[in-house]
Amino acid sequence: MRRKVHYTWRLAELMAARGLHNTTDLIPLLAERGIALSRPQVYRLVNQRPERVSLQVIAAICDIFDCGPGDLLTLTAADVRARKTGTTTPPNVVELDRTVRPRRANILDE
């Protein structure tokens, strides 16, 4: 069975818990750890759910907030239902009564 994995990016919550309310407050903290990001990049990192983040950035964020990657991400996984194939009857097809059979036709020559 397939599983669908979702995650919640919680960097904004970690920043608020530490008293950092502006995204620009994170820029010098990242720079101290060798991560150079522009203001728009840091804004997107904090306020949007990133699809790709380098491990160096995650490690720097975990060092800044003294947390682990599990505190930065909340993961949820759920089973995905298998798609139904053609074995079931579509809603616009009428079921035939298989117990009733038609009579064989007799063709007569004239």
Conformational region of residue 53, where left means phi above 0, alpha means psi within -120 to 50, and beta covers everything else: beta
Q: For residue 86, what pLDDT is reported?
A: 59
Quote the pTM value.
0.67
SS3 at position 60: helix
Considering only CA atoms, give the Rg of the chain: 30
* Mean pLDDT, residues 31-48 taken together: 94
* Mean pLDDT, residues 28-43 taken together: 94
CATH code of residue 42: 1.10.260.40
Phi and psi torsions of 25, nearest 5°: -65, -20
Residue 69: give the domain boundaries.
3-79
List of E strands, 1-110: 3-9, 73-79
Q: For residue 47, what pLDDT is reported?
A: 92
Where is average pLDDT lowest: 18-27, 36-45, 66-75, 99-108? 99-108
Residue 99: inside a domain: no
pLDDT digits (tens, 9 = 90+) for 48-102: 999 999 999 999 999 999 999 999 998 888 887 766 665 665 667 667 777 777 7
Q: For residue 34, what pLDDT is reported?
A: 95
* Count of domains forming the chain: 1
Residue 16: inside a domain: yes
Average pLDDT, the chain: 86
Q: For residue 55, what pLDDT is reported?
A: 94
Distance CA 21, CA 13 (A): 10
